[in-house]
């Protein structure tokens, strides 16, 4: 593909120019020193499987890492080992992951190992950095701006072609555009492969709307989120000197969560690599839950075929969950393609088995889960150690209400990041200001005084509402001060807060967490309540093909493997006037690893047994 000077970065069949920043990162003078002292051997403290994976420094390497097996530890210790032995120069290493939070965590772990200068980024951040760096050199003008969202531009595009579309329809069209771009399809390809209407819009109308959307972006010199990847790939394909510079800069690649790679991300990775094979990928096919966004686990599962000389290693020892939880996870995924057989760190035959409980309706389920959480709190559990997980956002409302009636504070995952909360930003600024004045030698007292001036009281407000949320956020900052090493100054403490904010480090407030299964991926809690395990909710009602049901199974697996100590499953027999059946996933797991709960059924109605048909696997919905 050859680009004109004006259209540098335009990619095949997309009809839109794309964007830019890849700086040339320089390694620090002393990459393995932390505060003047040398860091110990990065391979120490790893188990045999982890050590083996971290010791193979030349690619291609594929690490199949089961849930809770310490994959981030392996990734960071492998890079540190490469730097320590001189095999890697930090500035020539790129570690790629899928969320800014995960990239920040990776940078923080590398810093703790004494390694600085590694480019730990998301695919989008890396592509945008390269575009911003090279665009002015190629095009001679400023880079296009990035859209914050598609719906508003789609609405304006609809006006230009005389279409009337409501916000829900526009959001659906936006999702179709995202799928088209991450799978590297043109609008013409889309029309052939997905010839269905969207809401009241016919296929012709959807195509016209997409064309108008791309035209409007071009006229305004704007790019959307997916354009960034396409533009970077187009630039590397079209400009030999650019791809040569990038390949000279980065010699060693590590990709986390490789099961979630989309076709356009895989193409970008191929362009970064060229004919080199110094690549390490890490992933778990059983945690592929973003197929709707273009994720394709075949890149992970077929890695050995694509690179015949690859080392394929397995991490199957689970360090997170009790044996009883691991048994449930293994039972759900047994026989699935690419599934790993998790091995618990320790056997605990006396541990209570996870329990599945049937409730009469959604309100009864919410109240029952809230009661179970209240009992856990009364038994000494920290609210931060408890999570309620569900398939769809709408399921959170009755649970929040039930918790509030019992005076239990809860927060929903997926809101603003901790350091973006207004009260946290205000507190960090106030603490920074106080750090320039003479302070006492008591960090906790100094922090408490500043936070008290902003509204932190000794006792929290009533559960629920903005006041309680603000109190919890300030209290979390005070706990950080209480956990700081002895002798930490107020200035050093605020420096650490700013570093955490830069790395998007999340600080858990002292509340019970509510989260969708998608948002919970990559997290863990000692106590997990997985709700809504009925047909139509998990698997979701629109999962009608074998592939879609399999993705729903993987979502359930993600939820189960978030639990460290205790796991409870529940479902409701009715929703309004509609009766439900227990999820096929509960039946597949069976009574060998689950106990049935003791919720009383409605009079005259007998609930299906959690273990019914446990000896067979029902066929996926057709």
Alpha helices in 250-335 (DSSP H): 263-273, 298-301, 303-306, 323-333
Task: Say whether 486 counts as a known binding-site residue.
Answer: no
Residue 355: φ, ψ to 5°: -125, 140
CA dist., res. 47 & res. 59, Å (int): 21
Is 437 part of any known ligand binding site? no
Strand partners, 298: none
72 is in an annotated binding site: yes
Burial class (CB within 10 angstroms; exposed 0-12, middle 13-18, buried 19+) of 603: exposed
In whole angstroms, give the CA distance from residue 115 to residue 40.
12
Check if the beta carbon of residue 89 is closer than 8 Å to that of residue 64. no
The response to whether 160 counts as a known ligand-binding position is no
The widest CA-to-CA distance across the chain, in whole angstroms, is: 77
With tokens 């048994």, the residue in question is: 327
Residue that is written with structure tokens 């479902």 in the block: 571
Cα(618)–Cα(116) distance, rounded to whole angstroms? 51
Q: What angle, 0 to 180 degrees and rounded to 10, lies between the N-to-C axes of helices 225-238 and 123-139?
A: 50
DSSP 396-421: HHHHHHHHHHTT--EEETTSS-GGGS
Tell me whether residue 65 is annotated as binding: yes
Q: How many CA atoms lie within 13 A of 37 on its CB side?
A: 5
Give me the long-range contacts of 146-149 (CB less than 8 A, separation at least 24): 146/19, 146/222, 146/223, 146/224, 146/225, 146/228, 147/217, 147/222, 147/223, 147/224, 147/225, 149/174
Sign of the Cα torsion 574, 575, 581, 586 reads: negative
φ, ψ of residue 411 in degrees (nearest 5): -135, 145
**Of 589, 592, 588, 570, nearest to 580 (Cα)?**
570
Does an H or E element contain 123, and which? Answer: helix 123-139
State the Cα–Cα distance between residues 489 and 222, nearest whole angstrom. Answer: 46
The annotation status of 66 as a binding-site residue, yes or no, is: yes
Q: Which residues are annotated as a binding site for ATP?
A: 65-72
Q: Which residues are annotated as a binding site?
A: 65-72
């Amino acid at each position: 593909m050859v680009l004109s000077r004006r259209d540098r970065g335009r990619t095949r069949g997309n009809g839109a120019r794309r964007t830019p920043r890849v700086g040339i990162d320089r390694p620090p003078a002393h990459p393995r020193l932390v505060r003047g002292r040398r860091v110990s051997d990065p391979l120490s403290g790893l188990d045999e499987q982890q050590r083996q994976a971290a010791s193979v420094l030349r690619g291609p390497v594929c690490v199949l890492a089961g849930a809770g097996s310490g994959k981030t530890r392996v990734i960071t210790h492998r890079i540190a080992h490469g730097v320590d032995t001189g095999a890697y120069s930090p500035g020539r290493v790129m570690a790629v992951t899928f969320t800014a939070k995960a990239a920040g965590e990776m940078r923080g772990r590398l810093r703790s190992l004494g390694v600085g200068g590694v480019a730990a980024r998301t695919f989008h951040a890396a592509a945008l950095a390269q575009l911003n760096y090279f665009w002015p050199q190629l095009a001679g003008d400023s880079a296009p701006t990035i859209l914050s969202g598609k719906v508003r531009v789609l609405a304006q595009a609809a006006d230009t072609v005389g279409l009337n579309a409501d916000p829900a329809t526009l959001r659906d069209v936006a999702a179709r555009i995202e799928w088209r771009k991450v799978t590297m399809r043109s609008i013409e390809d889309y029309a052939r492969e997905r010839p269905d209407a969207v809401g009241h819009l016919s296929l012709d109308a959807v195509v016209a709307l997409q064309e108008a959307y791309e035209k409007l972006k071009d006229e305004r010199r704007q790019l959307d989120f997916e354009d960034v990847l396409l533009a970077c790939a187009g630039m590397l394909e079209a400009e030999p000197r650019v791809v040569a510079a990038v390949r000279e800069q980065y010699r060693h690649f590590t990709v986390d969560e490789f099961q979630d790679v989309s076709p356009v991300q895989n193409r970008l990775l191929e362009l970064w690599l060229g004919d080199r094979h110094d690549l390490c990928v890490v992933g778990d096919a059983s945690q592929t839950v973003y197929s709707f966004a273009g994720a394709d686990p075949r890149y992970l599962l077929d890695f050995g075929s694509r690179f015949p000389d690859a080392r394929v290693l397995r991490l199957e020892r689970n360090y997170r969950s009790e044996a009883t939880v691991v048994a449930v996870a293994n039972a759900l995924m047994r026989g699935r393609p690419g599934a790993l057989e998790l091995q618990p760190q320790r056997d605990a035959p006396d541990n209570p088995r996870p329990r599945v409980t049937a409730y009469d309706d959604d309100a009864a389920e919410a109240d029952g889960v809230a009661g179970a959480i209240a009992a856990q709190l009364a038994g000494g559990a920290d609210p931060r150690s408890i999570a309620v997980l569900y398939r769809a956002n709408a399921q959170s409302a009755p649970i929040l209400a039930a918790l509030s009636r019992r005076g239990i504070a809860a927060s929903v995952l997926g809101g603003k990041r901790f350091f973006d909360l207004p009260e946290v930003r205000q507190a960090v600024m106030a603490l920074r200001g106080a750090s320039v004045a003479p302070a006492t030698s008591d960090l906790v007292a100094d922090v408490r005084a500043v936070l008290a001036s902003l509204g932190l009281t000794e006792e929290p407000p009533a559960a629920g509402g903005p006041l309680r949320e603000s109190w919890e956020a300030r209290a979390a900052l005070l706990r950080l001060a209480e956990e700081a090493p002895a002798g930490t100054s107020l200035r050093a403490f605020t420096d650490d807060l700013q570093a955490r904010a830069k790395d998007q480090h999340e600080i858990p407030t002292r509340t019970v967490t509510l989260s969708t299964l998608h948002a919970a991926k990559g997290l863990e809690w000692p106590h997990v309540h997985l709700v809504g395990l009925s047909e139509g909710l998990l698997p979701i009602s629109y999962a009608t093909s074998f592939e879609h049901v399999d993705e729903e199974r993987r979502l359930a697996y993600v939820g189960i493997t978030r639990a460290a100590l205790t796991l409870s499953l529940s479902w409701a027999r009715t929703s309004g006037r509609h009766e439900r059946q227990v999820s096929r996933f509960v039946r597949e797991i069976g009574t060998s690893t689950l106990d049935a709960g003791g919720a009383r059924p409605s009079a005259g109605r007998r609930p299906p047994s959690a273990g019914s048909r446990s000896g067979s696997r029902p066929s996926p919905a057709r």
